[in-house]
Structure 1
Amino acid sequence: MAKKLILISILKFLTFMTLFTKSNTQSPNYVGDDCHNSKEQSLTKTYKSNLNKVLSWLSSDALTSKGYNHTNIGGNTVDGVYGLYDCRGDVTGSFCQFCVSTAASDILQHCPNRASAVIWYNFCILRYSNHDFFGNLTITPSWQILGSKNITKPQELEKAEDNMQSLIREATLVTHNLYAMGEFNLSNSPSSQKRYGLVQCSRDLSDNQCSQCLEDMLDKVPKCCGTKIGWQVLAPSCLIKYDDYMFFQLISQTSAPLPNPADQGGSSKSITLIIITIVIVLVALALISCCIYFIWRRYQSNKDGLPLESLDDLIQGEDSLHGDLPTIPLIWIRQSTNNFSELCQLGEGGFGPVYKGNLVDGTEVAIKRLSKTSCQGLEEFKNEVIFIAKLQHRNLVRLLGCCIEENEKLLVYEYMSNSSLSFHLFNEEKRNHLDWKLRFSIVNGIAKGLLYLHEDSRLRVIHRDLKASNVLLDQEMNPKISDFGLARAFEKGQSEENTARIMGTYGYMSPEYAMEGLYSVKSDVFSFGVLLLEIICGKRNSGFYLADHGQTLLIYSWRLWCEGKCLELLDPILEKTYIANEVMKCIHIGLLCVQEDAIDRPNMSNVVVMLASDTMTLPNPNHPAFSVGRRVREDESTSKASKDISGNEITMSNILPR
């Protein structure tokens, strides 16, 4: 395992250094746009929405495609939007996406309120319009960019035109790639100066259209650029570029004329030596870094929760985020949340704020944003990814994607239109809609979700923060357990764990966890029992003591049970809808779950069976545990920072100060 960790760390470090060096030496530079050729106009709300979806789609697609693609959203209607991106032939993958995402972000700033626009960067072009331009040749407007050096020999212009003509033929007649690049000698002398050229067309054109566009651009060179060594001429459909340095990246293609090895002997050896030196230095740094990291991880691994080996097996390093989850571009999230506007914010907890947004297809989502100042939030972020990304069940909230860009860490969830259980259960008006049939269905769904976590998932997962605000309700009022920020996993055969950091919510924590730091599946069973009794009576356990009863919900329920008056616990709203034997059964199960001794509490598998059976004889419950934090204010948790204003309380995590 140690060797495996070191190897992963080395690969990750080298990958990071490569991307860091690349992104710092070759970042997309703005070249120009055609906004001055179009007028600002009042765009409809639908057109703006379709435009944002097109730009988001282009940004996302650029990572997986071969450097070019186009799309249309809204069809051939007044509000339909057509969009296209095309990266330079030597730029692909994440760097292409970097350029396209930058262009998509900037085009609305450079060209506000335009029905059509084009923006150029040195590595890509991005276009959109309210008219279908796919496959149409567009050579106006055109731009020229000149270098600062003047030519010293008049014949260089003629030589340059001949060389560019050869690239045009190669791009359109030989490879049909619609782009080509190459290196040229100004003369036949071994010491001849080098020149470099590139031609490229938008890849929605035909060979003939591409040739026509490039020829037209080349015809402009003598008039605009003939006295300069470096120049670039471009239009929406094509570009040509010529200079005295290698501005493109060498790629595997037959289109680039191969340089003479004899001309490059000394430089090749120097470059090889430099590369070897850099690799040796990077490997040495990587080994030192990963050794330090490994020692630190070994020290931290068993302090709380899942052991290091199990964690590595589960997530295979941070890179697995992209393998298990779709990566959603930050530009889309910014657009979808109006740049994290307060108007889109649903709530905030220990993890950080949560926002409402939309996917490209219009699907509503909830977006968790890791607070940059929250250390505990980082731990919760890792847990959310580790568990929810790996676990799938109809009664668990679904994680749709993630984003790790520009120091932002975001998780995108399905949006629960009916908010949380607490939003309905503890509201006098909304509780009227929760009849007994619906409440009993919610109880069963929560129980099945916990059973999956405890016994049917890959690992035995302990939620550690089950409560009404962490149970979300979908459009059909089906319950889904959320917020796995405090969750921990057990290996096979492991039954309990101890921690010095007590994290959870007052009123739901089992006594052995609150007092001794011991948690197990029986800790979740206790929380489920509290929640079950809350669902029956419609009151919070944490605020029950302050009511007229003068005692905790657990003790009050126990006394009613012992006196044979357990139906008095029932929420008065349920008088016309309740089924007596089901209510009594649920109170009985709730009291079994909150027994003081964890050994006496049933497993969730037994709970699910008991809920489904009408004939099963249940054991008598023992005295319930005391209620931790019974004198705190209503719904007070161990976190002073959480606020309960969320329409989708997916972010609510309550943490005891460490």
Structure 2
Amino acid sequence: MNPTSSSSSSPFLSLVIWVFFFFFFFFFFFLQAPTNARELPPMSSPLHSPFPSPLPTLILPSSQSLPIPASPSPATPPSTVMQIIVEKHHHYHKELMVATVLSSIAIFMIIISAFCAWILWRRTTQTADSKDIQSSDSTMGLALGPILNKLNSLKTSKKGFLAMVEYSTLESATNNFSESNVLGEGGFGCVYKASFDGGLLAAVKKLDHGGQECVREFENEVDLLGRIRHPNVVSLLGYCVHEGKRLLVYEFMQNGSLESQLHGASRGSHLSWHLRMKIALDTARGLEYLHEHCNPPVIHRDLKSSNILLDADYNARISDFGLAVNAVGPSKENVKLSGTVGYVAPEYLLDGKLTEKSDVYAFGVVLLELLVGRKPVEKTEPSLPQSIVTWAMPQLTDRSKLPNIVDPVIRNKMDLKHLYQVAAVAVLCVQPEPSYRPLITDVLHSLIPLVPTELGGTLRVVDSSPLNPKAL
């Protein structure tokens, strides 16, 4: 038997018992009342009527008169009969008062029982939900429990749990942090491919230099990703602190980063138009969760194509929360200027003003990368780097020029109306004035109709062949 279901049904069982008990007492009382009444003397009878029987009315001539006979003497004195009536009336009045009080108490107890049952049900439901969330979290990406059989301990917090992994376990899983296992390199260290028992994989970020800034980013990432669970945010499975080295264990993303797909050896050849729109939609969903559903809201502050990871089915997840800050509170006010050139919003770069619209600007740059296949900053001339926003903006608003700047891999392979709509969204996102940029929720709703239903949108693709996500 499931203990959760039995515990959730016990409040309702107690409520039924309460209702049965009080209604049984209530009806028993009223069934007894008529019996008691029948044991009392009858109220009246033809022989003991307190009032004389009415005399027949005779119509006589006015000149005649009859003597009025004296009233017969009743068998029972009128005063005694009236006393019996008053006593019986008082007796029934008392019974009615008692019944009213008991029924009121019964109703009150039923209401209290129902309220207590509702509270217990809510608590049971919340407990079950938290267990389900933990269960679903444990099955996302890498099933850490069965894999990391050398866990040192479990760190439990109010908002989630992470596994503290032994350094020797990570060392063995990464082949002693071999260069052949390197997946990428960041500002404070490398990311390694880790293979645990059973052939299951994870990504291990090793932060072994950077001083206090490295420590702050490590703690920030553990704090945020330890309590964030969303399909479009990468899952942090565990961490390790060993002799000044700090390591983070993530779920493994088979297709690497969006940057490597767009600007690596394949040059975006694996990404069709529909897959690119799906990646944009997934990223928008992840940002919307951070901006609208986290409490307090979270500003990522370093959204870029290298921090958007892709799994085997090209589902996108936002990663690297080392620079993320809460949208309200002192953490937002005391941050120094950070980010990546080409993605940083102008108001943040020039005036230090940081809002959720700063992430929207970075999202617009990623959308341009998906659209035109260029890096955020490129050197069009040997000594003059140019941002993708500066280069693309004049052509994005010209419908005659727009098809010519699209990535050749997807050129002429989409509905022009959809192309114009994506270009319009990108233009709004990279507006210099933050108040002109849309909320990420508005961006999300603009992209949903452009993505096929099979990939998470609402677009119905008319095709006689089965829809294969990798072929879109």
1:346 alignment partner in structure 2: 183
- 1:518 partnered with 2:340: no
Q: 3-state DSSP class of the match of 2:248?
A: strand
Kindly indicate whether the alpha-carbon contact (under 8 Å) linking 2:147 and 2:197 is maintained by their aligned counterparts in 1.
no
The 3 A distance-change label for structure 1 pair 370 and 562 is: closer
Distance 2:188 2:158 in 1: 18
Distance 1:553 1:356 in 2: 32
Deviation, structure 1 residue 388: 1.2
Identity of aligned residues (%): 36
Residue among 452, 455, 467 paired with 2:292: 455
Deviations 1:10-32 (A, max 9, x none): xxxxxxxxxxxxxxxxxxxxxxx
Deviation, structure 1 residue 344: 2.3
Match runs of 1:494-509 below 5 Å: 497-498=332-333, 501-509=336-344
Residue among 374, 385, 407 paired with 1:571: 407
Q: Where does the alignment leave 5 or more consecutive residues of structure 2 unmatched?
A: 1-144, 451-472
Distance 1:431 1:506 in 2: 22
Kindly indicate whether the alpha-carbon contact (under 8 Å) linking 1:395 and 1:480 is maintained by their aligned counterparts in 2.
yes
The 3 A distance-change label for structure 1 pair 413 and 321 is: farther
2:255 alignment partner in structure 1: 418
1:356 alignment partner in structure 2: 193
Match runs of 1:270-349 below 5 Å: 320=157, 324-349=161-186
Q: 3-state DSSP class of the match of 1:423?
A: helix
Distance 1:557 1:430 in 2: 19
Kindly indicate whether the alpha-carbon contact (under 8 Å) linking 1:435 and 1:574 is maintained by their aligned counterparts in 2.
yes
Deviations 1:204-251 (A, max 9, x none): xxxxxxxxxxxxxxxxxxxxxxxxxxxxxxxxxxxxxxxxxxxxxxxx
Deviation, structure 1 residue 470: 0.7
Distance 2:239 2:331 in 1: 31
More off after superposition, 391-400 vs 346-355: 346-355
Kindly indicate whether the alpha-carbon contact (under 8 Å) linking 2:304 and 2:366 is maintained by their aligned counterparts in 1.
yes
Deviation, structure 1 residue 372: 4.1
Kindly indicate whether the alpha-carbon contact (under 8 Å) linking 2:326 and 2:332 is maintained by their aligned counterparts in 1.
no
Deviation, structure 1 residue 373: 4.6
1:537 alignment partner in structure 2: 372
- 1:474 partnered with 2:342: no
Distance 1:527 1:55 in 2: 36
The 3 A distance-change label for structure 1 pair 319 and 380 is: same
Distance 1:575 1:361 in 2: 43
2:91 alignment partner in structure 1: none
TM-score between both structures, scaled by the size of structure 1? 0.43
The 3 A distance-change label for structure 1 pair 489 and 546 is: farther
CA RMSD of aligned residues (A): 3.0
Distance 2:416 2:405 in 1: 12
The 3 A distance-change label for structure 1 pair 352 and 54 is: same
Q: Where does the alignment leave 5 or more consecutive residues of structure 1 unmatched?
A: 1-52, 65-317, 615-658
Deviations 1:397-448 (A, max 9, x none): 1111112244432110011111110101113634112110111111111111
Residue among 255, 261, 266 paired with 1:429: 266
Q: Which has the higher helix share?
A: 2
Q: 3-state DSSP class of the match of 2:378?
A: helix
1:598 alignment partner in structure 2: 434
Q: Could you list the structure 1 runs, at least 4 aligned residues long, displaced by more than 6 angstroms after superposition.
A: 53-56, 547-550
The 3 A distance-change label for structure 1 pair 563 and 544 is: farther
Kindly indicate whether the alpha-carbon contact (under 8 Å) linking 2:153 and 2:164 is maintained by their aligned counterparts in 1.
no
Letter of the 2:222 partner, please give it: V
Deviation, structure 1 residue 516: 1.3
TM-score between both structures, scaled by the size of structure 2? 0.59
Deviations 1:578-603 (A, max 9, x none): 22111111110000001111111100
The 3 A distance-change label for structure 1 pair 351 and 596 is: same
Kindly indicate whether the alpha-carbon contact (under 8 Å) linking 1:500 and 1:517 is maintained by their aligned counterparts in 2.
no
Q: 3-state DSSP class of the match of 1:431?
A: coil
Deviation, structure 1 residue 321: 9.8
Aligned residues: 305
Q: 3-state DSSP class of the match of 1:533?
A: helix
Kindly indicate whether the alpha-carbon contact (under 8 Å) linking 2:403 and 2:411 is maintained by their aligned counterparts in 1.
no
Residue among 201, 204, 227 paired with 1:367: 204
Deviations 1:119-174 (A, max 9, x none): xxxxxxxxxxxxxxxxxxxxxxxxxxxxxxxxxxxxxxxxxxxxxxxxxxxxxxxx
1:611 alignment partner in structure 2: 447
